[in-house]
Amino acid sequence: MNRFIVVGADGSDAATAAVEWAADDAARAAARLHIVHAVDRSPYEIATFSTPGQGDAIALSAQSVLADAEAVARKRQPGIDVTSELYEGAAAAVLRGQAGNASEIVIGGRGLGGFPGAVLGSVSTHVAGHAHGPVVVVRSDPGTVFGEIVIGLDDYHAGEPALAYAFEQAMLRMSTLRAVRAWRPPVHAHVPESTHDLDEIHATQCRIATDTLQGWRQRYPQVQVIEDVQQTHPVDALAKASEKADLVVVGSQGRGAIGTVMLGSVTLGVLHHARNSVAVVRP
């Protein structure tokens, strides 16, 4: 078994949901599940917070988190191969470092240490913005099934890996794939003297969506595809579609230098506003 899925565990409810989600995906894909927990000792190395024996307490707590996560995964999917490992360092850096060999990384939307009321945790944002390959941010109860995967269509070649991931997810889940392409009219399209024909623009966008999906339909003939072309902002369209989707898949151009810039405004907007889980797929 060469494929493996990495999931981050920290003992929070969000991380537990991520472990359940990852266990289900491992079962569908016949992949090994690798649970990781990061121990960041830096706060305890400051003299003000130094306590004799604190290191042992941290290690015991970390082992307990891993044991509990393994138990959750095995109960959820008894037949899968589960391993776990404890790492030293910041959680975001540890998870990002797992991206090289994993088929996907799964994380909770907000773990321990998140600010009350925060929509998305800093670890989730960092990993989704930096790790190559699919990063799934679990935002929903894995027990709720809608039978639909949503993919956002764009004009960039960076979207090809996202399409591949979305079609595979739809095939493994035997779900419908809703391909959403959202467009906005030119700034002066509604001016009376404007030569823009909105119906023609819409028809062109529909043709682009059909052409983009043609090859993928042939590779995955068993997947039912709905082409959903809308005149609206992409974030609004995908957030709305997420309400009845098991997963929303978005590509990322991978441009920019630091932080969330690498996600792009649409991808970041979907991560913050989607009602259910989101997979960000960077080349």
The tens digit of pLDDT for each residue in 175-215 reads: 999 999 999 887 655 555 555 688 999 999 999 999 999 99
DSSP for 13-47, written as a single string: HHHHHHHHHHHHHHHHHT-EEEEEEEE--GGGGSG
Query: Which stretches of the chain are assigned E, i.e. beta strand?
Result: 4-8, 32-39, 82-88, 104-108, 133-138, 148-152, 176-183, 225-231, 247-251, 278-282
Total-model pTM: 0.86
Cα–Cα dist 170/26, whole Å = 14
The mean-pLDDT minimum among 93-102, 154-163, 199-208 falls in: 154-163
pLDDT recorded at residue 113? 43
Work out the percent of the chain whose per-residue pLDDT is above 90: 58
pLDDT recorded at residue 116? 36
In this predicted structure, the answer to whether residue 266 has a pLDDT above a threshold of 50 is yes
pLDDT tens-digit map of 215-226: 999 999 999 999
In this predicted structure, the answer to whether residue 121 has a pLDDT above a threshold of 50 is yes
Cα–Cα dist 127/132, whole Å = 9
Helix %, strand %, coil % of the chain (to 5): 45, 20, 35
Q: Comparing C-alpha atoms, which of 221, 242, 21, 253 is closest to residue 151?
A: 242
The mean per-residue pLDDT over the stretch 134-150 comes to 90
| Averaged confidence pLDDT in the chain | 85
For the chain, list the domains and their CATH numbers: 4-138 (3.40.50.620), 148-282 (3.40.50.620)
